[in-house]
Amino acid sequence: MDYVLTTDALSKHYGHFKALNECTMHIPKGAIYGFVGKNGAGKTTLIRLICGLQKATAGSYRLYGMDSADKEIAKARRRMGAVVETPSLYLDMTAEENLKEQYRILGLPSFEGIPELLKLVGLENTGKKKAKNFSLGMRQRLGIAIALAGDPDFLVLDEPANGLDPQGIIEMRELILELNRKRQITVLISSHILDELSRLATHYGFIDSGHIVKEISAQELDAACRKCVRIEVSDTKALSWVLDSMKVEYKILSDTQADIFDKINITELTLALATEHCEVRSIDEREESLESYYVNLIGGGEHE
Ligand SMILES: Nc1ncnc2c1ncn2[C@@H]1O[C@H](COP(=O)(O)OP(=O)(O)OP(=O)(O)O)[C@@H](O)[C@H]1O
C-alpha cells in the first residue's frame, strides 16, 4: 500500500512524562484517517511533530516517503496543509485578505486561486466582513482554506468539528468529503465526535496514552461492528444443526450462546428448535457502534 505518512515509534517526552510513546501509525494515500483518543491521549502532540512545530524525543516518521531526519523534509511538508488547534487567522481582515496574506507567506506568484478557494469552503459571499465577526464554523472553514492555499494533497485537521453547531458539523463533513473525493486529498482528522467521524473515515487509528492501540479500516470495523442477533438456547449443537439447514450465517460463542448474522424469521427458528428439543432462552438484537468498539478497546473513563 502507498502511504502518505507513516510514523515509527515516534515519541515525545516532557521530563518523565511520555506524551507520545512509541507511536506507530500508517495513513494510506487517499484515506480519511480518523485519529481517535481521549483528552490528553497525544493526538495534538503527534500532529505538532509531523507539522514540524515541535521536535520528537525519539523515533521517526516518513512523509511522502521522505524520512523526518532528511534535510529536505520541509519540501515534503509543503505538500501538507494543517489546521492545528484553533485556526490562526488575522481577525481584522476579511476572508479574502487572510488568504492573500497566506499566499504572500507561501510566496505564491498570483492571487488567481483565491475566489475558487473561497467558493470551495463556502465563504465566497462574505465580502467586507472581518474574520472576527465570523461564526466558529466560518472561521474553521477559513482555516481550511488557508491550509489549502499551497494546493496540498495531505490535509491535517485537529478537531475540526469542535464547538460547531449541527449545521456547522454538516458543512464541515461535506467539505472534507469533497476535498477527499473530488480533489483526492488525503485527510487526517483527530476527533472526539465518534459518531461524526464514522460518517467520514475510511481508516481509524485509536490512540491511548501516546500509543496507537489499533489501526483498522472502516470496512474491517464495519465487519467487527456487524449487526447481529444474539441468541441464548439450551443447546447450541441443536441450534447449529437448525441454522445450517436454514443456510444462515452464524457464530457459536458457547454451549448456550450464538450470534446470527443473517435476517431470520424468529418464529420459524423457534419452531424448528422446538422439534430438536432445544429451548430458546433469550434473543437480543445487537449492533456494536464505533463508540462501543472504542470503549471496549480503550476502556471507559473520562472522554468526551
Ligand atoms: N508543553 C508541555 N509540557 C508538558 N506536558 C505537555 C505539554 N504539551 C502537552 N503535554 C501533555 O501531553 C499530553 C498529550 O497532549 P495532547 O495535546 O497531545 O493530547 P490530545 O490527545 O490532543 O488531547 P485533547 O483532545 O485534549 O487535545 C497531555 O497530557 C498534555 O498535558
Distance 301 CA to ligand 1 centre (A): 17
| pLDDT tens per residue, range 135-192 | 988 999 999 999 999 899 999 999 988 888 888 889 889 999 999 999 999 999 998 7
For a ligand 1 pocket test, name from 12, 39, 45, 83 the mutation site with the most ligand atoms within 8 angstroms of its C-beta: 45
How many A from CA of 55 to the centre of ligand 1? 14
Q: How far is the CA of 127 from the centre of ligand 1 (A)?
A: 37
Q: Give pLDDT, residue 227.
A: 77
Distance CA 79, CA 54 (A): 18
**Distance from the CA of 40 to the center of ligand 1, in angstroms?**
5
Domains of the chain: 3-223 (3.40.50.300), 226-287 (3.30.70.100)
Q: How confident is the model at residue 235 (pLDDT cuts 50, 70, 90)?
A: very high
Report the C-alpha gap between 158 and 167 in whole angstroms. Answer: 19
User: How many angstroms does the Cα of residue 294 sit away from the middle of ligand 1?
Assistant: 20
Q: pLDDT value at position 164?
A: 85
Cell representation of residue 196: 461524526
Position 290 pLDDT exceeds 90: no
The residue nearest atom 12 of ligand 1, judged by CA position, is 19
pLDDT score of 304 more than 50 = no
**Which residue in 115, 25, 102, 111 sits closest to 63, CA to CA?**
25
| 226: amino acid identity, one letter | R
pLDDT at 298: 83
Q: Which three cell numbers stand for residue 238?
A: 441443536
CB-neighbour burial class of residue 17 (10 A; exposed 0-12, middle 13-18, buried 19+): exposed
Could you give phi then psi for residue 57, rounded to 5 degrees? -80, -40
Label residue 270 left, alpha or beta by phi (over 0 means left) and psi (-120 to 50 means alpha). Answer: alpha
By alpha-carbon position, which residue is closest to atom 24 of ligand 1?
39
| pLDDT > 50? residue 207 | yes
**Which atom of ligand 1 is nearest to 45's Cα?**
18
Instruction: Give the mean model confidence (pLDDT) for residues 107-125.
Output: 92
Atom of ligand 1 nearest to the CA of 46: 18
Ligand 1 centre distance from Cα of residue 152 (Å): 27
What rounded mean pLDDT belongs to the chain? 91
Dump pLDDT digits (tens) for 51-101. 999 999 999 999 999 999 999 999 999 999 999 887 789 999 999 999 999
Q: How far apart are CA 88 and CA 84, in angstroms?
A: 9
Q: What percent of the chain clears pLDDT 70, i.e. is strictly above it? A: 98
Task: Name the phi and psi angles at 25, rounded to 5.
Answer: -140, 160
Length of the chain: 304
What is the model's pLDDT at position 300?
59
What ipTM goes with this model? Answer: 0.94
* Range in 31-35, 98-102, 195-199, 208-212 with the lowest mean pLDDT: 195-199
The pLDDT tens digits of the residues spanning 173-185 come to 999 999 999 999 9
- How many angstroms separate the CA atoms of 222 and 199, rounded? 12
What is the CB < 6 Å shell around ligand 1? 14, 17, 19, 37, 39-45
Which of 32-36, 225-229, 237-241, 275-279 has the lowest average pLDDT?
225-229
* Residue 279, C-alpha cell as written in the block: 429451548
